[in-house]
Chain A
Amino acid sequence: MSNNLDLKKGLNIPVKGAAAPEVIQTVSPDIVAVKPTDFKGLVPRLLVKEGDTVKAGSPVMADKQRPEILLTSPVSGTVQQVVRGEKRKLLAVVVKADAKQEYVDFGTKAPASAAETKDLLLKSGLWGALIQRPYGVMAGPEDTPKAIFVSSFSTAPLAADLEFTLGDALKDIQAGIDALSLVAPVHVSVKKGANTFAQLKNATLHTVSGPHPAGNVGVQISHIAPVMKGDLVWTLSLLHLAAIGHVINTGKLDLTRKVAVTGPAAPKTGYVQCLSGTPVKAITAAAQGVRVIGGDVLTGEILGAEGYLGFFQNQLTLLQEGYEREWFGWAKPFRPKVHSSSWYNMDTNLHGGPRAFVETKCFEDVTPMDIFPIYLIKACLAGDIEKMEKFGIYEVLPEDLALCDYVDPSKNEIQAIIQKGIDLMIKEMA
């Protein structure tokens, strides 16, 4: 186990449109959505109906198999709409916010045991923030993990600067760590040279440096204590660690966050203070032909201009859709777009057609983990459980190999392939 990770492999993608560290707007949304689709491994059961009144922290949904897992409303108000999709799949519960916020009181007594911590997380609706490795699904309340990992910085393209967004929440974060360390030892990775989060106590701190994906918690785990067969660890974002601490310190659920509005197609970049589930329209305007992504350009989800900010998202990226066709692209092999080092206005064009795998080293160059990406990818494609295990399927989530999507000259969908492999593992190992 090393407390100092200096990662060399990886790539910082030169996308333009970083957010300067200032809050440009504070939004109190009229409506807020709770989306069960944010949580992998959750089968939602509705607990409210249209017209019900809820407080901030009141449950609106529960998991079908594990009814103790609750999803709660981030605002007080009335349930305006239950949005369903195909086959009546529950997509969102939309709550119309009251002018004045009322909170469910979860008490301000700090948890004294693992059971109390778990109970508080389940009741407050923050349980969903815990993600288990392997597989990247929601943690099970019955499980006891080997350790809990938190990354206190993100290296993803244009990601929110957590020192800026959460630097003032140090007290909450500490309270969160104190509570979670009752469940399992907590490891926090800190960016090399960053001081704010290096003050945290009651956790093992790891200093990490390097290009993306050095900030990915999965990459850090693979160097600190690799997840092998039979291992179970939990991960959690710093954002939610602060929210947990806030519940403990004040008794109130507060999912307010500073959201980084970024990307080359953003009309104005900067941070917007708002709630989880705020409509995208309220945060930023998006012109025609612009893709609104919740999260970063590598792993984010397409929200669309009519969508709502997800539970895990603290970033919006706006990109121009790249339908334009470039003339004689092949005749300009040395143009700056090839492994560019200059920052430019990227769009969503694929820049080529899908082909069979040809290059091999490009995947290894962007994957700072002790695995052979190409072998893992091929094992996933073949659906070979034994080989997937051997090549490290327990260690990775699609986000850890997201850069492979970006660099692959054969334009394969690596993240989708890995996710398919993980889904197969869940099905076969259950």
Chain B
Amino acid sequence: MADEKKPGLFEKGGKLYWLHSSIDAFDTFLRVPGTVTAKGAHVRDGIDLKRVMIMVVIALVPAALFGMYNVGLQTSTLYGLDWNFWHMFWYGLLRMLPLFVVSYAVGLAIEFGSAQIRGEEVNEGYLVTGFLIPLIVPVDVPLWMVALAVAFSVLFVKEVFGGTGMNIWNPALVARAFLFFSYPSSMSGSSVWVSKTWVPALKDVDAISAATPLAIAHDGAFDAATGAVGQYSFMDMVWGFIPGSTGETSVIAILIGALILVWTGVASWKIMVSSLAGGLLVGWLGQLAGATAVPCYYQLVMGGFLFGSVFMATDPVTAAQTETGKWIYGFLVGALAVVVRLWNPGYMEGMMLAILLMNTMAPLIDHCVVSTHTSRRAKKALTA
């Protein structure tokens, strides 16, 4: 046993003190710190960032679990493999695990490293980012690409600004944007959405095209009589039995997550509601203008719209900070996403770009809200 008077190995003055950021991270992961209040309020609520972040992860779990099942389902259906439920889920789980492992390993390594360099505590923000990234990319995307995207986004979108709480853009979305623009052949098109790489029987089979409903609708294959987009009915899209990024397909699973987020107050319901309103309005206008034959509410269930509205646009760090600003911000996210979808020949999905653009604009929105408020206050003071 070490002499009590000597500082501990990892305490100030100890030999391995330089490692204290990492040690603290593991230590506080195991046990809540024993620090007591020194100034200000003498009691504090039990909530801390670890709990906030874990709450978001819990909210993401339904979408992730369904996504795993859907990965297997899509492969089995498209290639006529006739798997049972557990086989489908097992395949999806195996397929997703490496993505999660790579995402967390690379991201957390950089987080620990930079916390170590700064001598600060390790931030919890990556717990959510690392969980989000595998859910918003095609399941067959090569792991090295994920690693590269994660490294880019954590380093250049988060750490250079000072870590969680200081970043301007949502790191998970930037990781996706990085992949989207650097490796378009692995990220878009109609053959990336259904996994086949890990099925030995399909080794020599060419990838069969399986377009997402969003792409099908974009090409105009909408059957107004049955309400089906290609071979997918509206209810298929609500349940999520469609190709797409793993986490984004099931409306039901995402809504369960949304309920958890709103109930615990972690994410703003105002952003979610106004984003849906913006999407609906522009979708309706687009239908009137003849840009699309698809009814406006289809915009909410196709592609990543709902997932983006619930989990990405609501990120408290990168969204608008004022309550009025949140209404404006959310509305514009939804509206812009559908604008990109309808009036743009290039890509079908506008959610990622809409949220990143609005992340950039959020401080401006807040600035306008706050200055309107302060000038109103100043006027009130003059008349009072």
B142 within 8 A of partner (CB): no
Given contacts A328-B30, A331-B54, A355-B164, contact A409 B323 (CB under 8 A): no
Given contacts A351-B44, A391-B374, contact A410 B49 (CB under 8 A): yes
Flag if B43 contacts A347 (CB, 8 Å). Answer: yes
* Chain B residues with CB under 8 A of A328: 30-31
B87 within 8 A of partner (CB): no
Flag if B44 contacts A411 (CB, 8 Å). Answer: yes
What separation, in Å, do the CA atoms of A332 and B317 have in the docked complex?
A: 23
Q: Map CB proximity to B onto A317-354 as digits: 1 under 8 Å, 0 otherwise.
A: 10101111111111111110111100000111111111
Flag if B43 contacts A358 (CB, 8 Å). Answer: no
Flag if A349 contacts B381 (CB, 8 Å). Answer: no
Flag if B41 contacts A405 (CB, 8 Å). Answer: yes
What separation, in Å, do the CA atoms of A328 and B163 have in the docked complex?
A: 24
What separation, in Å, do the CA atoms of A13 and B45 have in the docked complex?
A: 9
Flag if B49 contacts A226 (CB, 8 Å). Answer: no
For residue A380, give the distance in angstroms from its CB to the closest CB of chain B. Answer: 13
Flag if A352 contacts B31 (CB, 8 Å). Answer: no
B145 within 8 A of partner (CB): no
B35 within 8 A of partner (CB): yes
What separation, in Å, do the CA atoms of A132 and B255 have in the docked complex?
A: 51
For residue A378, give the distance in angstroms from its CB to the closest CB of chain B. Answer: 10
Given contacts A364-B323, A372-B373, A415-B39, contact A339 B33 (CB under 8 A): no
Flag if A338 contacts B380 (CB, 8 Å). Answer: no
What separation, in Å, do the CA atoms of A391 and B165 have in the docked complex?
A: 21
B40 within 8 A of partner (CB): yes
The size bracket of the interface on A is: 35 or more
Q: Map CB proximity to B onto A353-364 as digits: 1 under 8 Å, 0 otherwise.
A: 111111111101
Which of these binds chain B: A195-203, A292-300, A307-315?
A: A292-300
Which single member of A228, A353, A364 contacts B33 (CB below 8 Å)? A353
For residue B282, give the distance in angstroms from its CB to the closest CB of chain A. Answer: 27
Q: Map CB proximity to B onto A379-390 as digits: 1 under 8 Å, 0 otherwise.
A: 000000000001
What separation, in Å, do the CA atoms of A416 and B40 have in the docked complex?
A: 6
Flag if B36 contacts A323 (CB, 8 Å). Answer: yes
A46 within 8 A of partner (CB): no
Flag if A226 contacts B165 (CB, 8 Å). Answer: no
Flag if B41 contacts A355 (CB, 8 Å). Answer: no
Q: Map CB proximity to A onto B310-336 as digits: 1 under 8 Å, 0 otherwise.
A: 000000110001110000000000000
- Closest residue of chain B to A227 (Cβ to Cβ) is B381
B159 within 8 A of partner (CB): no
For residue A159, give the distance in angstroms from its CB to the closest CB of chain B. Answer: 14
Flag if A291 contacts B42 (CB, 8 Å). Answer: yes
B58 within 8 A of partner (CB): yes
What separation, in Å, do the CA atoms of A402 and B42 have in the docked complex?
A: 10
Given contacts A333-B54, A339-B47, contact A356 B166 (CB under 8 A): yes
Which single member of B29, B49, B316, B378 contacts A360 (CB below 8 Å)? B316
* Chain B residues with CB under 8 A of A228: 378, 381, 384
Flag if B39 contacts A416 (CB, 8 Å). Answer: yes
A15 within 8 A of partner (CB): yes
What separation, in Å, do the CA atoms of A333 and B166 have in the docked complex?
A: 24
B252 within 8 A of partner (CB): no
Given contacts A293-B42, A364-B323, A406-B43, contact A350 B50 (CB under 8 A): no
Which single member of B44, B45, B47, B321 contacts A374 (CB below 8 Å)? B321
A414 within 8 A of partner (CB): yes
B265 within 8 A of partner (CB): yes
* Chain A residues with CB under 8 A of B58: 333
For residue A148, give the distance in angstroms from its CB to the closest CB of chain B. Answer: 17
Number of B interface residues in the complex (CB < 8 A):
54
B123 within 8 A of partner (CB): yes
* Chain A residues with CB under 8 A of B84: none
Given contacts A330-B50, A359-B316, A372-B322, contact A348 B45 (CB under 8 A): no
Given contacts A409-B52, A410-B165, contact A358 B316 (CB under 8 A): yes
For residue B300, give the distance in angstroms from its CB to the closest CB of chain A. Answer: 24
Greatest chain A CB density within 10 A among B35, B125, B268, B322 is at B35
Flag if A356 contacts B40 (CB, 8 Å). Answer: no
Flag if A340 contacts B46 (CB, 8 Å). Answer: yes
What separation, in Å, do the CA atoms of A403 and B46 have in the docked complex?
A: 14
Residues of B12-70 contacting chain A, CB below 8 A: 24, 28-37, 39-55, 58
* Chain A residues with CB under 8 A of B54: 330-331, 333
B259 within 8 A of partner (CB): no
A375 within 8 A of partner (CB): yes
Flag if B31 contacts A325 (CB, 8 Å). Answer: yes
For residue A134, give the distance in angstroms from its CB to the closest CB of chain B. Answer: 13
What separation, in Å, do the CA atoms of A360 and B316 have in the docked complex?
A: 7
Flag if B265 contacts A325 (CB, 8 Å). Answer: no
* Chain B residues with CB under 8 A of A402: 40-41
- Closest residue of chain B to A335 (Cβ to Cβ) is B46
Given contacts A329-B32, A330-B54, contact A356 B316 (CB under 8 A): no
What separation, in Å, do the CA atoms of A406 and B47 have in the docked complex?
A: 9
B162 within 8 A of partner (CB): yes
Given contacts A226-B381, A330-B51, contact A406 B30 (CB under 8 A): no
B377 within 8 A of partner (CB): yes
* Chain B residues with CB under 8 A of A334: 264
A423 within 8 A of partner (CB): no
* Chain B residues with CB under 8 A of A68: none
Residues of A260-304 contacting chain B, CB below 8 A: 291, 293, 297-300, 302
Given contacts A350-B36, A361-B265, contact A356 B163 (CB under 8 A): yes
Across the A-B interface, give the 3 residue pairs with the lowest CB-CB distance, nearest first: A352-B48, A337-B46, A356-B165
Q: List 12 A-B contacts (CB under 8 A).
A: A15-B43, A226-B380, A323-B36, A328-B30, A329-B31, A329-B48, A333-B264, A337-B45, A348-B36, A348-B43, A351-B32, A370-B377
Given contacts A352-B51, A410-B48, 10 further A-B contacts (CB under 8 A): A319-B42, A322-B34, A331-B54, A348-B37, A350-B35, A372-B322, A372-B373, A407-B47, A409-B45, A409-B49
